[in-house]
Amino acid sequence: MIKKFFCLVCFASFLFAVDLKKEFQLLESTSPVVRRNAVARLSRVRNKDVISKLKELLQNDPDFGVRAQAAEALGNLRDRSATSALIKALGDENRNVRATAIVALGYLRDKASVKPLTDYYKTEKDVGLKISVLNVLGVIGDISAADVLIEALSEKNPRIKTIAASSLGRLRVRKACEKLVECLKDADKNVRLYSARALGEIGNKDKKVIKALVKYLESEKDLEVKVAIADALGKLGSEEGFEIALKAAKDKNVNIKRAGLRALTSIGKSNDDVKNVVIEAWKSSDSRIKRDAEMAASYLKIKLPKPEKEKK
């Protein structure tokens, strides 16, 4: 059996093997489509010569599609020797190439790219590309991006503020809390939602932060945002959002229900009502709700009924 499996693996490797000599020749083709396809195949090969060739194409190929394909391939190969080439590509004349280079830098997660990315953010006018940079800065996870992310919370565009808040939460930037609290009164729902989530992720248990969250919990009209604030309060050790979380966990809307179950888990308070809600959610045919209910039961020490099969 093992021998058969080994043979199948070898056969599959043979089928998908890339002939580097042939592919390198195809990269010299006058057809951009042929060159693009060759680059796509080379993106499966983590080899120094391949990476070197891809970097050369990214910088010098006359076709923007080939350059973008090369950037994508370098990101997929996750080789940090490509960082400098991808940083240079941020100055490419073509938007698609710049966009792909930003995403590729996110895949590499090289801290050396943080300063170039923040500098690029300050000069780029394209909102979509600015948003992509903010997201990638959160993915890379280096605290040196904090100041640019905090400044982005003052931008007029709500999408920019939303992604900035999300990345600040990932980085757990404590000095961003004051600005994130201000964002809880933003006119845009998503800005308020992600700011609340970020405050919970950052975990700053400062009394001023908790007091502000309680204040906005009372004034907020949107249930999804209210639950996010309740969840954040729970992560900061406050039970102030308990009733909101319980109400949400009973809601018919799947996303609200799931958020409510997670908030109850964060708050860590249980009573008979909570037990009934969690057990009822656990019986759901929706695997996502069931999974959140199992998590809540585990943290709140709620004993779930045995499945019918086990009873038999």
* Location of structure tokens 């890339």: 18
- Closest by CA to 230, choosing from 207, 214, 253, 208, is 214
Out of 1.10.150.120, 1.25.10.10, 3.40.50.1820, 1.10.10.10, the CATH code matching 21-108 is 1.25.10.10
Q: How far is CA 14 from the centre of its chain?
A: 36
Same fold, 111-204 and 221-307: yes
CA distance 290 to 283: 7
Tens-digit pLDDT profile for residues 66-103? 999 999 999 999 999 999 999 999 999 999 999 999 99
Q: What is the pLDDT of residue 309?
A: 57
Q: What is the pLDDT of residue 34?
A: 96
* Backbone φ/ψ region at 157: left (φ over 0), alpha (ψ -120 to 50), beta: beta
Fold held by 111-204: Leucine-rich Repeat Variant (1.25.10)
Residue count (the chain): 312
Q: What is the pLDDT of residue 14?
A: 35
Contact 152, 144 (CB under 8 A): no
Domain coordinates in residue numbering, the chain: 21-108, 111-204, 221-307
From the DSSP assignment, how many helices (H) and strands (E) are in the chain?
A: 20, 0
Q: What is the pLDDT of residue 1?
A: 52
Q: What is the pLDDT of residue 7?
A: 45
Q: Classify domain 221-307 at the CATH class level.
A: mainly alpha
Identify the segments of the chain with pLDDT beneath 70. 1-17, 308-312
**In the numeric block, which tokens belong to residue 198?**
């970020």
Contact 63, 71 (CB under 8 A): no
- To the question of pTM greater than 0.85 for the whole model, the response is yes
Q: What is the pLDDT of residue 113?
A: 98
Between helix 207-219 and helix 189-202 the angle, nearest 10°, is 150
Q: What is the pLDDT of residue 308?
A: 63
CA distance 57 to 68: 9
CA distance 110 to 116: 11
